[in-house]
């Protein structure tokens, strides 16, 4: 009988956030695959567990993934852990899941803490629709290209960032997005947890202060772009003609100008003034 792969969500800082189900899964698994075995060993020691540990990370995912699948096919069960949070989010766990799917192996998620969702909740930014962009490239050209592609993104955007890269990243974000609201969340669930709700320009200015020393991993939550205005498919003269036609059909001039403005992207006040005066150029 084949074994199963368990995706075990682990604390992002506070060990008290480990769920009883996650602890039970770690206890029952035949072996544990970890992004950094030293980090996961501390968690196992906290639980009083002794389990065989294997390393599974970005640099060995192909060979380690095949080895894990072989053990699962032989009937062993494996708990996959990342250093913090849910496996497969900005780590190679997704590729192991894909390998298991190709081999007909069952994969079970044991939900747990997630830094991106925690930061979104703390940010005060609209969370109904959002996009998770993970870590930006360390290469400035690639980072700027990534950000430029998001200039018109209307959903809330969430990024992970290391402290030593934070100042340069914020400057590039300001250049790409212009002024936006941003929440800088760091050390989530830990002793020195902090959420700074500010603007991109102020965040850049704060980073330039000699007293500013970024510490801990950051989650950046940035408001999306304002909704794009409708394309002005009609000229101003054509829009005024439409306003007059609507007025002639019984609408007030104000309502006609408003409706045409929404449809064409022209300003209501301008359409109203031109239609009222008959001065169309």
What's 155's domain CATH number? 3.30.950.10
- Rounded to two decimals, the pTM is 0.79
pLDDT digits (tens, 9 = 90+) for 191-239: 999 999 999 999 999 999 988 888 899 999 999 998 876 665 688 888 8
pLDDT above 70 covers a percentage of the chain that reads 97
Question: With 80 as the cut, is the pLDDT of residue 142 above it?
Answer: yes
Q: Residues 214, 140: contact at Cβ < 8 Å?
A: no
Same domain, 73 and 123: no
Same domain, 243 and 156: no
99 part of a folded domain: yes
Identify the pLDDT of residue 227.
Answer: 81
Identify the pLDDT of residue 229.
Answer: 63
- 252: phi then psi, degrees, rounded to nearest 5: -70, 155
231 part of a folded domain: no
Same domain, 18 and 76: yes
Same domain, 61 and 141: no
Question: With 80 as the cut, is the pLDDT of residue 279 above it?
Answer: no
230 part of a folded domain: no
Q: Residues 12, 118: contact at Cβ < 8 Å?
A: yes
pLDDT above 90 covers a percentage of the chain that reads 77
192 part of a folded domain: yes
252 part of a folded domain: yes
Query: Of the candidates 222, 253, 269, which is a domain's last residue?
Result: 222
Identify the pLDDT of residue 77.
Answer: 98
Question: With 90 as the cut, is the pLDDT of residue 183 above it?
Answer: yes
Same domain, 186 and 249: no
Query: Of the candidates 175, 197, 222, which is a domain's last residue?
Result: 222
Q: Residues 195, 18: contact at Cβ < 8 Å?
A: no
Same domain, 76 and 39: yes
Residue 258, token pair as written in the block:
């408003």
Domain that holds residue 262: 236-277
Average pLDDT, the chain: 93
Angle, alpha carbons 205-207-208 (nearest 5°) = 65
- Specify the number of domains making up the chain: 3
pLDDT digits (tens, 9 = 90+) for 239-251: 899 888 888 877 8
Same domain, 138 and 67: no
Identify the pLDDT of residue 50.
Answer: 96
228 part of a folded domain: no
Question: With 90 as the cut, is the pLDDT of residue 82 above it?
Answer: yes
Same domain, 122 and 93: no
E strands, the chain, are 4-8, 31-34, 53-55, 78-81, 106-110, 130-135, 156-161, 181-186, 194-199, 218-222
């Amino acid at each position: 009988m084949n074994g199963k792969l368990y995706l075990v969500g682990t604390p992002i800082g506070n060990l008290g956030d480990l769920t009883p189900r996650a602890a039970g899964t770690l206890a029952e698994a035949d072996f544990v695959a970890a992004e950094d075995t030293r980090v996961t060993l501390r968690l196992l020691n906290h639980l009083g567990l002794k389990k065989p540990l294997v390393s599974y990370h970005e640099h060995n995912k192909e060979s380690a993934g095949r080895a894990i699948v072989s053990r699962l096919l032989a009937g062993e069960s494996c708990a996959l852990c990342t250093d913090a949070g849910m496996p497969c989010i900005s780590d190679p766990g997704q590729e192991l899941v894909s390998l298991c799917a190709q081999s007909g192996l069952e994969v079970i998620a044991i939900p747990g803490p997630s830094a991106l969702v925690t930061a979104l909740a703390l940010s005060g930014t609209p969370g109904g629709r959002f996009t998770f962009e993970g870590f930006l490239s360390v290469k400035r050209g690639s980072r700027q290209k990534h950000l430029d592609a998001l200039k018109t993104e209307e959903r809330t955007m969430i990024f992970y960032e290391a402290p030593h890269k934070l100042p340069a990243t914020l400057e590039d974000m300001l250049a790409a997005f212009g002024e936006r609201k941003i929440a800088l969340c760091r050390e989530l669930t830990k002793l020195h947890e902090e959420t700074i709700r500010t603007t991109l320009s102020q965040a850049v200015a704060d980073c330039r202060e000699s007293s500013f020393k970024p510490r801990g991993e950051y989650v950046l939550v940035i408001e999306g772009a304002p909704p794009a205005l409708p394309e002005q498919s009609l000229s101003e003269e054509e829009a005024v003609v439409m306003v007059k036609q609507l007025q002639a059909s019984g609408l007030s001039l104000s309502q006609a100008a408003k409706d045409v403005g929404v449809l064409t992207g022209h300003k209501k006040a301008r359409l109203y003034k031109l239609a009222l005066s008959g001065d169309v150029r």
